Amino acid sequence: MNSSGILSVVTFVYGFAAFLYVASWIFKKPEPGRLGTWVVFAGLIGNITGIAMRWMESYTLGYGHAPLSNLYESLIFFAGTLAAGYLVIEKKYHNRIIGAFAMPFPFLAMAYASLSPNISDRIQPLLPALKSNWLIAHVVACFIGYAAFAIAFGLSIMYLIKDKDAEGKSLLLERFPKSGVLDELSHQMVMFGFLFLTVGIITGAVWANSAWGRYWGWDPKETWSLITWFIYATLLHARMTRGWHGRRIAYLSVAGFAAVLFTYFGVNLLPGLHSYGAMGR
């Protein structure tokens, strides 16, 4: 089995894990959640194995570049980063209900990469502008940031759901972490993601200068990355200096992740140097 076959299997593994976490939450049974943890771990091992095999296959074809250069490869790396981030949170907070809101993201990323007719899993040679040592640093930093923002989004949705049931009448929400825990954990994930997004933007600017002779060119991807950065900067500023907590911060987190999604997918519909539109086929 080649790397694409392994990664296709990982898609269903992540989907099964998400199902187990949702089942554990809805039916209030801990056993599916415990199994879900092991399923996520198995999926992550398969995810890492698939990426490593794809890297070796690239060398076999004579390209020899890290599998981070097109939409398919970025999605499988994004999914692995999400799964790893969730496992760290579960280990620290011992609450598997979060998995019901976090694990659908790696499943959807892998499903889109593996099943979309518009995305090719072919290993392709790098474009001349991408042949740089900055490729790994820039892409890895950005997608670690994106993964943290995705998890923060899931936590913010949990907060908003729990906040609507302030009197605790819904039995489905009794196993949610406390609102303060969700608020603080979401804040920590945003700070973590903001750090890596900042590193990603800086390394991208240095890379752009070496590739195109300028640090910043207001390409659609660059512009939306900056917009995303400002949304999360506003969130952190409001929390640290204005004392914002709770719903207002959760809404900003949701808005920030919407900007992340447009930065990742939406700009591919626009002409630009960063578009995955041609590279992903």
34-67 residue pLDDT tens? 999 999 999 999 999 999 999 999 999 888 888 9
Q: Which residues of 91-117 are buried (b: 16+ CB within 10 A; e: fewer)?
A: eeeebbbbbbbbbbbbbbbbbbbbeee
- Cα separation, 33 vs 98, whole angstroms: 10
- pLDDT tens track for 198-257: 999 999 999 888 877 888 888 888 899 999 999 999 999 999 999 999 999 999 999 999
Q: Is the pLDDT of residue 168 over 90?
A: no
Closest CA to 82 of 166, 14, 174: 14
Comparison of pLDDT for 118 and 4, the residue scoring more = 4
Q: Tokens in use for 258? A: 């919407």
Residues of the chain with CATH 1.20.120: 1-126
Among 1.10.3470, 1.20.120, 3.30.70, 3.30.200, name the CATH number for the domain at 1-126: 1.20.120
In the chain, the percentage of residues whose pLDDT exceeds 90 is 71
- Cα separation, 265 vs 262, whole angstroms: 5
Q: What is the pTM of this model?
A: 0.92
- Cα separation, 165 vs 199, whole angstroms: 38
| pLDDT band per the 50, 70, 90 thresholds, residue 277 | very low
- Cα separation, 176 vs 253, whole angstroms: 19
Q: Tokens in use for 115? A: 């099943």
Q: Tokens in use for 1? A: 């089995």
Q: How many CB atoms lie within 10 A of CB 18?
A: 23
Residue 281: the pLDDT is 33
